[in-house]
Amino acid sequence: MQDTTAIKAVSVGRRIASVFLIGAAMTLGGCESIPEVVNPFTWFEDDETAPRPPVASKHGAEAVSQAYPKLGSVPKRPSLQAQQAAIAQGLAADNENARYTDDKIQREVERRAAVVRDGKSIRAVPPPPRVVAPRAQPVLRRASPPALAVKPSVPPVQPAVRPTRASPTAVDRPAPAAPVPVPAFAPGQTVKVATIYFQDGSTKLLGNDKEILREVANAQKQTGSAVHLIGHASGRVRTFDPSRRHMINYQISLNRAHAVAAVLLSLGVAEGKLEVTGKGDTTPIYAEYSTAGEAANRRVELYFVN
């Protein structure tokens, strides 16, 4: 049994050797025609050679050869007293260095001070020259020229003009209009010649009202005309009753007309030439949005009737 196995092994070996020989012959014969890409013998020709592994140094070998340290061989932790002693020794060394540095600086300062005291190495700087300011020259004040006495010119004497009463404006009591000369008028014609104004709720004449009535009386004597006096009142009354307000305003307007007629009678106008009428607040000439409008409505109008 063993002989048969040996014979088979020799036969297989021969076959394998024959195959290798045939392959080698083909390789040598076709070396020129096989491309390098297909030729397996050229695949690794251009590769770089692998670097050599580093040679372990002597110390590395010794370190590797040494055994690992044991826990029992670890040095003991220094005590608190030993640490404090080391710190105190370091502080003492620092103090010695500081004293040495201070002594060195002090010696340098003393050396420079000695050089300064010697006075030979430093040149004294002369003080700046004293500047004397020039004395100010006295300035003579010019005497102002004497004031010229100006003789005031005497204004020309203006002729005296009788003041006229303008139309009512924004005042408490408007000035009455001045009477105008009575022109010639046709029979039955009525001409307004003057207006007398009154304070709120009053029937008294004020200011130069009597002078105006004097001129009216003189004009009436010249023409012989009848004088119609019409009294008026403003709408302001301290009541909310319309009928009562109408009666109050009518009565005060009539009383104002009678007051003017009494002055004309005293100035020489005949009683038969006077006619008195009261219209209350029915015929205002100004809107009573302000006290000025109310004052303009409190009036007595005088008309000449031919």
User: Domains of the chain: which residue ranges?
Assistant: 196-297
Cα dist from 146 to 78, 128, 149, 151, whole Å = 113, 53, 9, 15
Q: What CATH number was assigned to the domain covering residues 196-297? A: 3.30.1330.60
The pLDDT assigned to 71 comes to 58
Which of 228, 240, 142, 231 is CA-nearest to residue 192? 228
Sign of CA dihedral 94, 95, 98, 100: negative
Give the confidence band of 171 by pLDDT, cuts at 50, 70, 90.
very low
Give the confidence band of 238 by pLDDT, cuts at 50, 70, 90.
confident
How far, in Å, CA of 88 to CA of 286, rounded?
115
CB 258 within 8 Å of CB 292? no
pTM beyond cutoff 0.85: no
Lowest mean pLDDT among 64-73, 102-111, 219-228: 64-73
